[in-house]
Chains A and B, each alone.
Chain A
Amino acid sequence: MTDPAPPQKGVIAVTGATGYIGRATVHAALSKGYGVVALGRRPPDLPGVGFQRYDLKDEGDLSVAPECVAIMHLAADTQAGSRTDIDSEVKAATRVIRAAREHGLALVFVSSQTASPEAATNYGRSKWLVEQIALEVSGCAVRPGLVYGGTQRGLFGQLCALVKSLPILPSFLPAPLVQPIHVDDLATGLIKAVEQGSSGVIRLAQDDPLTFTRFLRILARDRLRVSRMFMPFPAFVLSLISPIAAAVPRAPDLGRIQSLYAMKEMRTSVDLQRLGLDLRSLQDGMHRSGNGRQRRQLGEAKVLLTYILRQRPPSSLLRRYVSATNALYGNDEPLAFPWLVCRFPVLITAFERAAAKQKHSKFKSRLSCAILIAEASPLGAQRFMLSHTVHPAMALFKMAAAVTKDSLVRIGCLALARPLTAALKASEHRAQ
């Protein structure tokens, strides 16, 4: 047994610490000031984490360090996938739960959205059985929705691999509904459950479900940055071929996809609120960085700089704009322009009109940043200064043309003042 980093708030023992959810949970626990002891078969490759030997197949009492305040049971024999051996799962969990009860520790068990006595898979049934044991000792069972984001592991990893390898993706009919949750949000939720001494079943996922097809579409676009065709695929075919696939070693675990059909839609908003957990949007979470902020900043940069320069700016300029706004405004949310403005940056002129009378305008301040960034570049020198003499009549004509265009925008904006002000406000204060 090795010692963890000196804990400030006590130590949390975690089974399955090196798994997909486990790693995120360990990270969240450490950053919240807890020490972590990984219960596992071999020492984890996690810096600052202690280790205690533990095997799902072991028997007898589980010893617990004295500074331990909670046990989180995340381990599951995922190798078996949907072909889980119920008995060994329950036996292993019982051992952990017993230790928690004997030492008076908080207990958090990571269950599944499929947990149910009548679940289609052994996985779902075993999760339900363990939940019952955990609830008996006033433990807490967390049922996460479809976990995604972070490193490509777990079911998320399998889906990534699937999208990567298939040029055409199945769009199952009828489409199963999923309720995603980012792995880091889940980890935060688990730590909060420990901190708040929660008990009972806690459902963690985004409250509105979306179709599995749409989930895959966002995964392809925002995570893997590939475009994929979708072909309708009758779901009953899946149930025909999945037993065959199950018999073939190394075949994709179609059972897990099939199990999506068995997931009952969960109402999660009450639990999220009780834990004080704010979930990131799916688009943000899908982004490799775990939040789409930088992408949104680059989007703002592209619109404003294109508007100023009258041409697509090089990416170096976009990145410089983002660094500058980071230096100036810290974590302030970037502007979220409507789709039409992103497509036609010239429409920023209308926003300028709408913001003209405002004293302190986020939009105007960003636009002035964009002007400075745009000008301080060779492209800006071309745009802001004449490189060679032109005929005075030509110069006069160009100036008159610019003033005329501005007047036309003014007239156009006269009628649209109200919706424009609303659109400007919406882009400045986007609800997350």
Chain B
Amino acid sequence: MKDIYDAIIVGSGPAGVSAAFPLLDHGLRVLMIDGDLGISSHLPPASYSEARKADLDQWRWMLGSDFHAMKARAPSSPKFRVPALAGVFSDFLSENRIRTDNFTAIGSLAAGGLSNAWGCGVARFSRHDLAAFPFPADEMLPSYERVTRRIGVSGRSDDDLSDFFGLDDWAQRPIALDGLHTGILARYQARTAKFRRLNIRMGRPRMAALADDLAGRKACDLSSNCLWGCSRDALYNARFDLAVLKKNLNLRHLGGTVADRLVKQGDAWTLHVHDRRSGAAFKVHSRTILLAAGCIASARFVLDYLGLVGKPVRFFSNPTAAFLAWMPRALGAAQQDGFASSQLAMAFTSDQGEDTAYAGLFSTQGLPVGEFLDFLPLAKRYGIDVMRHFLASCVVGNVFFPGSLSEHQLTIAEDGSLHVRGQFSPHLDAAFQTVSRSLSKAMWAVGGIVPPGACILSSPGTDVHYAGSLPMKARPEPGQADAFGEIAGMSGVYAIDGASLPSLPTKSHTLTIMANADRIARRVAARSAATS
């Protein structure tokens, strides 16, 4: 006998879990699948500086017992080298049959998806940011609130970015700044006129990281272990929500399972899946499918079902740059433990008031010094001598440009493989030059120096902010979604992850994905309650 679920959610990341809550609240029977293999990870046993000083086994969490970090020396971000995250990224390309060209395609088969490895930046899209969304901006508001309260957001502050983030009504106080960033913020506040001329606002980032305990998770203890794995669960991970959801008997969670394709049978959908360990194929059935496998992977089900072979589909990501700024005043300081994700945020706007870039500032504590050596034109021994005295007086940061400056394409091939071609817009160069110039001026104004060549544009895809492959449109064409994420030509199939966003501003988009998933799932639940 075939078991028909009320809804199947493909993926247990931020979008998947956000959709599951309203469905279960309405009493629906939900199947959630992900490719998780239940790999346990090795976390630092103490704060970063303590563990580095005393833990003889630190190589196990820094490099991995299988030397994962050394095998992954090529990728640009240190995140991809972290042993605890090896299982988060592994096999995403092969399981989804993705080929890339000038694009770093990152995704996750693990429970919790990419929230296992995210930077925890959250923001509410403004009315302006939501202009391309085919529904009134206020429709998102209740969903934003629900999700923000559920996941726990810190950083509430009466600062210049309060409106930019738009979350302070529901947020906790900010997590403490370290000495270096306290100095930077104080100097910013003393020179607001200068920054106004530069069209830069600075403030506390709103982060899905706890300043106060919440629902069994402990507040950040400033241990600098954000990158390596937080043992206090202070950083939001969709796994936490999954654990809560699994207490509901109406949810069946199937780990280690990867979805292959969708087939329509009568008025129900059949999802062909396979077990990641054994390779055994089987089918699951439902009238409603919610795609939350990630922007790239979700698109494949649609392109495959609609037979859009060879037709390129555009999607976005935030072109990103990384920089380092030296604060000479702090020279000679020893490293200080603290919050190792973004401590300060900067919003860049044009003279016309358009957002041109968003930047986060981080401490260098918690990052391996070895990551920086290749940027010095010195023999390694002397490079270490320099970095040992230099790095603690530096901050590092990343800059995100609007998704409109990317022109990536997805194409499904005859053999079912998905080809991803990355390309930046020709306007990105000018935008990068402008922003990096004002960044240098801004850092100078707070007593810092961005050394020449220390602000570098990263290659396409490394930002991992993918969106817009199945965009919500007022009048969707085949392969696009309507205002509630339902795919044109595939009734009952919804895009609820980044794929559904029709535009991608500079600010972090994860919270919007979650809120939109909540919004869509509420509608789906109400509809199915009405029909039954």
**Residues on A close to B: CB < 8 A?**
307-308, 310, 316, 320, 323-324, 327-328, 346, 348-349, 352-353, 367-369, 371-373, 375-378, 381, 383-396, 398-399, 401-403, 405-406, 409
Contact = CB atoms under 8 A, between A and B. Distances in A.
Interface stretch (B12-20, B31-39, B235-243, B366-374): B366-374
Given A385-B388, A399-B385, A352 B380 contact: yes
Nearest to B51: A381
A160 to B, nearest CB: 37
A371 B54 contact: no
A399 B386 contact: yes
Q: Give the top 9 A-B pairs by smallest Cβ distance, nearest first.
A: A402-B385, A381-B52, A395-B332, A376-B59, A376-B62, A395-B389, A402-B382, A384-B369, A349-B379
B389 A375 contact: no
Contacts of A387: 53, 334
Contact of A385 (B52, B59, B380): B52
Given A375-B62, A403-B382, 6 more contacts: A348-B381, A383-B384, A386-B333, A398-B385, A403-B378, A406-B379
Instruction: Determine chain A's interface SS by DSSP, over half rule.
Output: helix
Interface string B50-63: 00111110110011
B305 interface: no
Contacts of A346: 381
Given A310-B381, A398-B385, A406-B379, A385 B66 contact: no
Contact of B373 (A307, A371, A386, A395): A371
B369 A385 contact: yes
Interface stretch (B69-77, B260-268, B420-428): B69-77
Q: Which of B71, B335, B389: most chain A CB closer than 10 A?
A: B389
Given A327-B66, A378-B53, A399-B389, A386 B334 contact: yes
B67 interface: yes
A376 B55 CA distance: 10
Contacts of B384: 308, 371, 383-384
Given A352-B380, A371-B373, A406-B378, A378 B331 contact: no
A402 B332 contact: no
A375 to B, nearest CB: 5
Contact of A383 (B373, B386, B388, B390): B388
B70 A375 contact: no
A378 B54 contact: yes
B392 interface: yes
B67 A323 contact: yes
B385 A376 contact: no
Contact of B59 (A310, A371, A377): A377
B62 A394 contact: no
A381 to B, nearest CB: 4
A353 B70 contact: no
B4 interface: no
Given A324-B70, A394-B332, A395-B331, A381 B53 contact: yes
Contacts of B393: 395
A392 B332 contact: yes
15 contacts: A308-B384, A324-B70, A327-B67, A328-B67, A371-B373, A372-B63, A373-B63, A375-B370, A376-B59, A381-B53, A386-B333, A386-B392, A387-B334, A398-B389, A399-B385
A237 B391 CA distance: 71
A320 B65 CA distance: 10
A77 to B, nearest CB: 53
Given A327-B66, A371-B373, A381-B53, A389 B388 contact: no
A375 B61 CA distance: 12
B70 A402 contact: no
